[in-house]
Structure 1
Amino acid sequence: MEEKMALFNKPRIVSVSRRTDIPAFYGEWFMQRVRKGWTLSHNPFSHRVLRVSLRPEDVGAFVFWSKNFAPFLPYLAELKTLGYKMTFLYTLTGLPGVFEGRVPDAEVTVSTFRAISKMFSPRHIQWRYDPILLTSVTDEKFHLRRFRDLCRRLGGYTTRCYISFVNLYPKVERRLQALEKKGVKLLSVPEAEQAALAQRLAEIAAEHGIELYSCCNDHLVGGWVKKARCVDAELLAALFGLEVGLYRIKPTRKQCGCYESVDIGTYDTCPHGCIYCYANAGSKAGKNYLHHGPNSPALISRGNSLMDTTSD
């Protein structure tokens, strides 16, 4: 597999990560790579392996994504001391365990969310109520009730919430269909009704000082709902002085509004095992997790079928 040096003439925005939950499961590996000053990033589509500098002067900001930042909290002080700039995308839905059985209870998640907000600021941490999954056990009334409760708990600790309705990739649809045996039926909801629900959620969020943003669902944008840029160079500029003009908008999928970044994660490596997840194709994630090593230059070490890379 080809390995190339990632050469950039500007500080790089590093996504950690859309493809897996590094803060929840791979924090020690990530910190080892930070201490080494570089890592390898595998592009799942072009199959190129890039050597990416993680030196503070080469990182414009880390954008962290997770459903569980609790295991990562001990590392944040070290990252701050080293001079890294960071924002956090924290997914908290409060969905029943049948959809995300390995995700911590909302009480634990809210506590960790608040801790990060206090350590940095409410502007540094964005809440993802994502995906909105409409089923026979999580209908519109469920989401209005759950969202209102979470807004009450997170109000004052964040200024933004990103939402989207579940994307029915074939693998996701198969998993949801399998739940029908347990009495859970997916509801078909027209886009107009989704948009109406989004407006109601936005009004609830506004009551708690939170703005609502739509991620990859442009039919929701309007009124109280803005278009999301989860990797947002404009926000990073406001927080850290990053020069917006150096970065271009580079969508990762249809209707994505994100600015360019380099992602250092790997698909099929997240043990959360959420039913709606697009990043896990099958049952390989648990096995792949067992194959990772904290000292590997890439998330998945040599010999795994996902990646074959050179070492130090």
Structure 2
Amino acid sequence: MEEKMVPFHKPRIVSVSRRTDIPAFYGEWFMNRVRAGWAVSCNPFNRRAMRVSLRPEDVAAFVFWSKNFAPFLPYLAELKKLGYRMVFLFTITGLPRIFESRVPDTGVTVAALQAISRMFSPGHVQWRYDPIFLTSVTDEKYHLRRFRELCRLLSGYTTRCYISFVCLYPKVRRRLQALEKQGIKVLAVSETEQAALARQLAEIAAEHGIELYSCCNDHLVGGPVKKAHCVDAGLLASLFNLEAGFYRIRPTRNQCGCWESVDIGVYNTCPHGCIYCYANTGAGASKNYLHHDPCSPELIMRGNCHSISGF
């Protein structure tokens, strides 16, 4: 009797999310989509919408990104019980409020990272000290001091730290004009100077059992600084026994080292209001947040996406 060939099924890595902070602001929406078993992802460039299965057997892992996981902590036990595999990219910089006006105090975010690490493991939690923003009030000495303080608090709770220097997109430069009127100046720093600072940070991190990785800044890579793969099939393979060879590296921008994933977030929806943010274009983010529907299949129903493709 001829044996039938079973089609190969490759579960997706789901990014939650580069485009906005879902754990901080949209946890209810996300859990509603998990319980429904699917969500809509809308490509921000061609407006093509895609139905993304969120059933456990179709998700290789969730890669969560956030500056504040505290509101999301109550959902983690349910996700774990349902059998989902998860890793956490947790941005903690402790920058002054003038740069991160709505990000919680460092005490809140550090406690949340420690709680996630205890629930899973230090290998599940990747700390992001990102971006490094050099100004007249956050110069090199400031960052060396702040980074050392954070390393001390996070030692034993994570094994990796990802860094990058701020990218001054035109929309970011426009926001900085307001700071310049307050006497805060952005410092011009060469790539050589950036690499020297990164090496100092790597030495501090190593003292606390943390390895340093460079995200989208290849000029920093070398010596103790490794190239980052923020969505990292190799890491997922080591944590969850997945087959990394099933996935391809698919950069999202220049010098990005990420493996392929599907992102279910939407740009211009994060109310954190960080000066350096690439994902918000204007003042509409807070308005979008206030008017989002937690029961909608897409994070923000814009009404201008093309027809939805299936799984």
TM-score by length of 1: 0.95
* Equivalent residue, structure 1, for 2:261: 261
Superposition deviation, residue 9 in structure 1: 3.3
Deviation readout 1:32-86 (Å, 9 max, x if unpaired): 0000000000100121100000000000000000000000000000000000000
* Equivalent residue, structure 2, for 1:63: 63
* Equivalent residue, structure 2, for 1:158: 158
Superposition deviation, residue 305 in structure 1: 6.1
Code of the residue aligned with 1:277 in structure 2: it is C
Q: How many Å separate the matches in 1 of 2:247 and 2:293?
A: 33
* Equivalent residue, structure 2, for 1:246: 246
* Alpha-carbon spacing, 1:191–1:16, altered in 2? closer, same or farther (3 Å): same
* Alpha-carbon spacing, 1:309–1:34, altered in 2? closer, same or farther (3 Å): farther
* Equivalent residue, structure 1, for 2:51: 51
Instruction: Give every structure 1 segment of 4 or more consecutive aligned residues whose post-TM-superposition deviation is greater than 2 Å.
Output: 304-310
Q: How many Å separate the matches in 1 of 2:207 and 2:35?
A: 43
* Equivalent residue, structure 2, for 1:4: none
Q: How many Å separate the matches in 1 of 2:303 and 2:100?
A: 26
Asked if 2 retains the 8 angstrom alpha-carbon contact of 1:12 and 1:60, the reply is yes
Q: How many Å separate the matches in 2 of 1:306 and 1:194?
A: 42
* Equivalent residue, structure 2, for 1:93: 93
- The root-mean-square deviation of aligned C-alpha atoms, in Å, is 1.2
Code of the residue aligned with 1:32 in structure 2: it is N
* Equivalent residue, structure 2, for 1:24: 24
Superposed, which structure 2 residues align to 1:97-176 within 5 Å?
97-176=97-176
Q: How many Å separate the matches in 2 of 1:139 and 1:51?
A: 45
- Secondary structure of the 2:123 match is coil
Asked if 1 retains the 8 angstrom alpha-carbon contact of 2:20 and 2:267, the reply is yes
Superposition deviation, residue 177 in structure 1: 2.3
Deviation readout 1:123-182 (Å, 9 max, x if unpaired): 000000000000000000000000000000000000000000000110011111221111
Superposition deviation, residue 290 in structure 1: 1.5
Asked if 2 retains the 8 angstrom alpha-carbon contact of 1:300 and 1:306, the reply is no
TM-score by length of 2: 0.95
* Equivalent residue, structure 1, for 2:3: none
Q: How many Å separate the matches in 2 of 1:209 and 1:233?
A: 22
* Equivalent residue, structure 2, for 1:231: 231
* Equivalent residue, structure 2, for 1:84: 84
Asked if 2 retains the 8 angstrom alpha-carbon contact of 1:298 and 1:309, the reply is no
* Equivalent residue, structure 2, for 1:207: 207
Asked if 2 retains the 8 angstrom alpha-carbon contact of 1:300 and 1:307, the reply is no
Q: How many Å separate the matches in 2 of 1:140 and 1:13?
A: 36
Q: How many Å separate the matches in 2 of 1:177 and 1:309?
A: 40
Matched pairs, number: 301
Code of the residue aligned with 2:94 in structure 1: it is G
* Equivalent residue, structure 1, for 2:39: 39
Gaps of 5+ in 2: 1-7
Superposition deviation, residue 306 in structure 1: 6.4
* Alpha-carbon spacing, 1:207–1:29, altered in 2? closer, same or farther (3 Å): same
Q: How many Å separate the matches in 2 of 1:114 and 1:213?
A: 20
Asked if 1 retains the 8 angstrom alpha-carbon contact of 2:92 and 2:127, the reply is yes
* Alpha-carbon spacing, 1:29–1:281, altered in 2? closer, same or farther (3 Å): same
Code of the residue aligned with 1:286 in structure 2: it is S
Gaps of 5+ in 1: 1-7
Question: Percent of aligned positions with the same letter in both sequences?
Answer: 77
Higher relative contact order (CA 8 A, sep 6+): 2
- Secondary structure of the 2:174 match is helix
